[in-house]
Amino acid sequence: MLPLFVCPGEGVRNAISSMPGQAQLSVDLLVRECEEMRKLGIGGVMLFGVPDTKDDQASGAYAEDGITQRAVRAVKKAVPELIVMTDVCNCEYTSHGHCGKVVGNDVDNDATLEWLAKTAVSHARAGADMVAPSDMMDGRVGFIREALDEHGFSNTPIFAYAAKFASVFYGPFREAAESTPQFGDRRSYQMDPSNGREAMLEMELDLEEGADLLMVKPAGPYLDLIRQARDRFDVPIGAYQVSGEYAMIHAAAQNGWIDLDRAMMESLTSIRRAGAGVILTYFAPDVVRALA
């Protein structure tokens, strides 16, 4: 599955310098890209909205005419067969760049759940096939599940970023999504990279709360956890090869230090071998072409 960034405007393609080949696209160009992805036969897309205004209530995240909602409606109208998933998070929409409501110097977990539920419902209403909460607030999967059910979306699955680590490898994404925290870091809600057992606990909790698929993120540095999750849980396991993993391969290839195509293939083969059934990767079109 291919992650894509959508921004306001028309005819806009803002290249992301640290992610060669990737760009923020306005809705019209996003639709064209999705048509092409459908023709290529990739599994689907994951949409990230980059709004033009932000506030401390993340109101753009759950606005009915927000950037992601508009993008979903346009893509599902033009390419109904393409699976469209949405990232459900607040960091692209808050002025401070945190994934939730900031009270004092902390993110208020429970107040944030309300925003997340509203966002997920608005994405489903716009036509999203699946919602993917990536915020890592406690209890969010159950909260979102209930809200979806209440609003008539009991058939919309939740792809939970269940084991999401506080990782340096999200660096390029934060440039792409303009979501770098303005103070502090995400360590109070994302997981400690040294703690593998907690990842299994987080996955178990998300399953109990109603997650339909579980994700490990990043992918390459956490292959052990993909394997453990595959052996332990009987739902599809996803893995997200994140922006930094993609950027590192490109940077080394640009220097002539490794072969781009082989590095892409080997990294993705390893993620598959570890047990991922669904892979999110910025290489999606390249790998589909290479496999054709």
Stretch that binds ligand PBG, among 68-76, 144-152, 167-175, 224-232 (CB under 6 A): 167-175
| Smallest gap from residue 115 Cβ to ligand PBG (A) | 13
Among 5, 115, 159, 170, binds ligand PBG (CB under 6 A): 170
CB nearer to ligand PBG: give 114 or 149.
114
Q: Which residues of 229-255 are buried (b: 16+ CB within 10 A; e: fewer)?
A: bbeebebebbbbbbbbbbbbbbeebee
Count of residues in contact with ligand PBG, rule CB under 6 A: 11
Among 30, 82, 87, 279, binds ligand PBG (CB under 6 A): 87
Near ligand PBG in 174-193, by CB under 6 A: 174, 186
| Smallest gap from residue 44 Cβ to ligand PBG (A) | 16
Residues 109 and 1: their CA atoms lie apart, in Å, by 29
Q: Which residues of 134-144 are buried (b: 16+ CB within 10 A; e: fewer)?
A: bbbbeebbbbb
Tokens representing 10 are 């028309």
Residues 132 and 80: their CA atoms lie apart, in Å, by 19
Task: Give burial (CB, 10 Å; 0-12/13-18/19+) of 273.
Answer: exposed
CA 56 to chain centre: 21
Residue 21: DSSP 8-state? T
Residues 126 and 128: their CA atoms lie apart, in Å, by 6
The verdict on whether 54 is a catalytic residue reads no
Q: Is 159 in the site for ligand PBG (CB under 6 A)?
A: no
Stretch that binds ligand PBG, among 60-68, 166-174, 208-216, 222-230 (CB under 6 A): 166-174
Q: Using alpha carbons only, how large is the chain's radius of gyration in Å? A: 18
| Smallest gap from residue 190 Cβ to ligand PBG (A) | 6
Near ligand PBG in 223-252, by CB under 6 A: 242-243
The verdict on whether 217 is a catalytic residue reads yes
Order of strands, sheet of 84-88, starting from the edge strand that comes earlier in the sequence: 13-15, 23-26, 2-7, 45-49, 84-88, 130-133
| Smallest gap from residue 51 Cβ to ligand PBG (A) | 14
Q: Is 89 in the site for ligand PBG (CB under 6 A)?
A: yes
| Smallest gap from residue 173 Cβ to ligand PBG (A) | 3
Write each residue from 98 to 137 as x if it is in contact with ligand PBG (CB under 6 A), else as -, in one continuous string. Answer: -x----------------------------------x---
Nearest to 234 by CA among 258, 213, 218: 213
Name the residues that contact ligand PBG, by CB under 6 A. 87, 89, 91, 99, 134, 170, 173-174, 186, 242-243
Which positions are catalytic?
Answer: 164, 217
